[in-house]
Amino acid sequence: MFVDSHCHLTFPELAQRLPEIRQAMAQAQVDRALCICTTLEEFDAVHALALQYDNFWASVGVHPDNEGVTEPSLQDLLDRAALPKIVAIGETGLDYYQMEERKGGRTVADMEWQRTRFRTHIHAARQTGKPLVIHTRAASADTVAILKEEGEDGSAGSAGGVFHCFTETAEVARAALDLGFYISFSGILTFKSAADLREVAAFVPLNRLLIETDSPYLAPIPYRGKTNNPSYVPYVARQLAELRGLPVEQIASLTSANFERLFRAVQS
């Protein structure tokens, strides 16, 4: 019924609890999940989950905020993307959040390594025909600009993909939609402070919506502050249902269909 389009089940908070989490998913009618890769070092573990369980899929990519890890070459991504059950490239994108504090006082100009890494992922997505999983934080203008520069405009030959855990403005959402991307909402949508984000969620076309947990982070109300997991994704769906004036079952159905269409991920 429900699909978690973005989770990190290899992270320590969740990896040791997988049997419990899978049982909770079944009880919550969460029947599929996309396990997201954030470093090449963790890829084998992420991929193993997808191979072990018929309702899990995986991505390959290096998160824009990760330093001190193996820098992915185009061939690194292409080789891994060709493996079974790898359905996406990412998570990738740009993250300038708290740049001075977290990046040792660096400027936007100093973040060229992120932009180069992002372009490598876009090239891999276009060559493989697999969609991008986009992370953007405090960097939306550059994120959209680079996608346009690399030919991502929704036309034939574009990789497309999803802006995951969307927290940006309506203007950024419209730009992403104009480029042919989907928009995915997380538990943040349920937070009392997220009124502006709920306004964005109210206008995104139904055929471009996805839901996710981004677990182990960002647990929705009523679990805010606790460790998130895929069994909580129905709370995001319920918030969307309320915003759109639709039954939650319809939100579950259409977001699942969108997931299948974007990632071509259907249970055998």
Please give the pLDDT value at position 164.
Answer: 98
The mean pLDDT of the chain is 96
pLDDT band at 131 (very low <50, low <70, confident <90, very high): very high
Determine what percent of the chain is predicted with pLDDT higher than 90.
93
Lowest mean pLDDT among 38-52, 89-103, 158-172: 89-103
pLDDT band at 100 (very low <50, low <70, confident <90, very high): low
Question: Domain range spanning residue 252?
Answer: 2-263
Compute how many other C-beta atoms are within 10 angstroms of the C-beta atom of residue 39. 15
CATH of the domain at 12: 3.20.20.140
Tell whether 82 is covered by a domain: yes
Contact 10, 218 (CB under 8 A): no
Tell whether 156 is covered by a domain: yes
Compute how many other C-beta atoms are within 10 angstroms of the C-beta atom of residue 124. 27
67 three-state secondary structure: coil
85 — alpha (psi -120 to 50), left (phi > 0) or beta?
Answer: left
Tell whether 268 is covered by a domain: no
Number of alpha carbons in the 13 Å side-chain half-sphere of residue 25 = 25
Tell whether 196 is covered by a domain: yes
Is the pTM value of this prediction over 0.85? yes
- Token readout for 100 is 């001075």
Q: How many domains are contained in the chain?
A: 1
Please name the helix (run of DSSP H) or strand (run of DSSP E) that holds residue 61, with its range, or none.
none
Tell whether 73 is covered by a domain: yes
Please give the pLDDT value at position 101.
Answer: 60
Tell whether 154 is covered by a domain: yes
At residue 104, does pLDDT exceed 80? no
Sign, CA torsion 13/17/18/23: negative
Tell whether 160 is covered by a domain: yes
24 three-state secondary structure: helix
Tell whether 89 is covered by a domain: yes
- What is the mean pLDDT of the segment spanning 210-225? 98
- What is the mean pLDDT of the segment spanning 48-75? 97
pLDDT band at 230 (very low <50, low <70, confident <90, very high): very high
Nearest to 120 by CA among 74, 66, 160: 74
At residue 50, does pLDDT exceed 80? yes
- What is the mean pLDDT of the segment spanning 26-50? 98
For tokens 């203007």, name the residue. 171
